[in-house]
Amino acid sequence: MFNSFQAAFGDIYCPALSGYDLRLKEDRKKFARDPERRKKCASYVREAAKLSAGMIAKLKKAGQSSLSSNSEQ
């Protein structure tokens, strides 16, 4: 999942993606006044959610497959 995200956006860490270190009060203020960056961050979160959902679906499917094969024995 991390590799897919990094391939799409070039990094996986918020400061590199947003240009702001949101642990710092001053950067949080700047970020709050930067609608373009907030929009970009929303797209990062959206993509991370999609990748996570896909991973969960694969894990569920794999779990169901192993359950099915165990019940047949």
Per-residue pLDDT reduced to its tens digit, 17-49? 999 999 999 999 999 999 999 999 999 999 999
pLDDT > 80? residue 65: no
DSSP state of 19: S
pLDDT-derived band at 70 (thresholds 50, 70, 90) equals low
pLDDT band at 66; cut points 50, 70, 90? low
Rounded Cα distance, 27 and 36, in Å: 15
Report the distance separating Cα 21 and Cα 64, nearest Å.
Answer: 41
Cα–Cα distances in angstroms (integers) from residue 44 to residues 37, 67, 71, in the given order: 10, 34, 40
User: What is the pTM assigned to this prediction?
Assistant: 0.73
C-beta of residue 37 within 8 angstroms of C-beta of residue 24 = no
For residue 2, the model assigns a pLDDT of 86
Region at 19 (left for phi over 0; alpha for psi -120 to 50; beta for the rest)? left
